[in-house]
Amino acid sequence: MFRDMAREFGRREVHPSVRERDREERFPSDLIKKMGAQGLSGILVPQEYGGLGSDWMTLGLVTEQLSYFDFSVGMTLFSQISLAAIPILKAGDDALKKKYIPAICQGDKIHCFAVAEPNAGSDASAIETTAIGDQAGWVLNGNKIWITNATVSDFAIVLVKTDKEKGAKGTTVFLVDKGTPGFSSTKIGHKLGVRSQDTGQLFFRDCRIPRENQLGPLGRGLSFVLACIENARYGVSCSALGVIGACIEATVKYCQERNQFGRPIGSFQLVQGRIADMAVDFEASRWLAYRVGYLKDRGLPCSQETAIAKYHNVEAAAKAARAAVELHGAYGLTDDFPVEKFYRDMIPPLTMDGTANIHKLIIARSLLGIGAFG
Both 188 and 57 in one domain: the answer is no
Last residue of a domain, one of 82, 109, 136: 109
Q: How many CA atoms lie within 13 A of 269 on its CB side?
A: 0
Both 233 and 284 in one domain: the answer is yes
pLDDT attached to residue 135: 86
Both 196 and 328 in one domain: the answer is no
Q: What is the CATH number of the domain that holds 349?
A: 1.20.140.10
* Residue from 257, 267, 216 nearest 88 by CA: 216
Cα–Cα distances (Å) from 359 to 80, 183, 193, 349, in that order, read 23, 33, 22, 12
Is residue 71 a part of any domain in this protein?
yes
Write out the chain's pLDDT in tens, 374 residues. 999 999 999 999 999 999 999 999 999 999 999 999 999 999 999 999 999 999 999 999 999 999 999 999 999 999 999 999 999 999 999 999 999 999 999 999 999 999 999 999 999 989 999 999 998 899 999 999 999 999 999 999 999 999 999 988 999 999 999 999 999 999 999 999 999 999 999 999 999 999 999 999 999 999 999 999 999 999 999 999 999 999 999 999 999 999 999 999 999 999 999 999 999 999 999 999 999 999 999 999 999 999 999 999 999 999 999 999 999 999 999 999 999 999 999 999 999 999 999 999 999 999 999 998 76
User: For residue 101, how many other CB atoms are within 10 A of its CB?
Assistant: 24
* Interacting residues of 282 by C-beta distance below 8 A, sequence separation 6+: 241, 244, 245, 248, 316, 320
Is residue 373 a part of any domain in this protein?
no
pLDDT attached to residue 374: 61
Is residue 374 a part of any domain in this protein?
no
The whole domain housing 231 covers 223-368
Is residue 58 a part of any domain in this protein?
yes
Both 249 and 361 in one domain: the answer is yes
pLDDT attached to residue 24: 97
Query: What values do phi and psi take at 335, rounded to 5?
Result: -80, 10
Domain count, the chain: 3
Both 153 and 258 in one domain: the answer is no
Q: What is the CATH number of the domain that holds 30?
A: 1.10.540.10
Is residue 120 a part of any domain in this protein?
yes
The dihedral of CA 359, 362, 365, 366: what is its sign? negative
Alpha-carbon gap, residue 174 to 215, rounded angstroms: 5
Is residue 295 a part of any domain in this protein?
yes
- The four Cα atoms 122, 124, 130, 133 give a dihedral, to 10 degrees, of 160
3-state secondary structure of 144: strand
Last residue of a domain, one of 67, 88, 109: 109
Query: What values do phi and psi take at 297, rounded to 5?
Result: -70, -20
Both 95 and 164 in one domain: the answer is no
Both 234 and 329 in one domain: the answer is yes
Is residue 182 a part of any domain in this protein?
yes
Last residue of a domain, one of 87, 109, 131: 109
Both 105 and 139 in one domain: the answer is no
Both 247 and 121 in one domain: the answer is no
Both 11 and 91 in one domain: the answer is yes
Both 165 and 31 in one domain: the answer is no
Both 338 and 357 in one domain: the answer is yes
Residue 235 CA, distance from chain mean position: 6
| Phi-psi category of residue 184: left, alpha or beta, with phi > 0 → left and psi -120 to 50 → alpha | beta
Is residue 21 a part of any domain in this protein?
yes
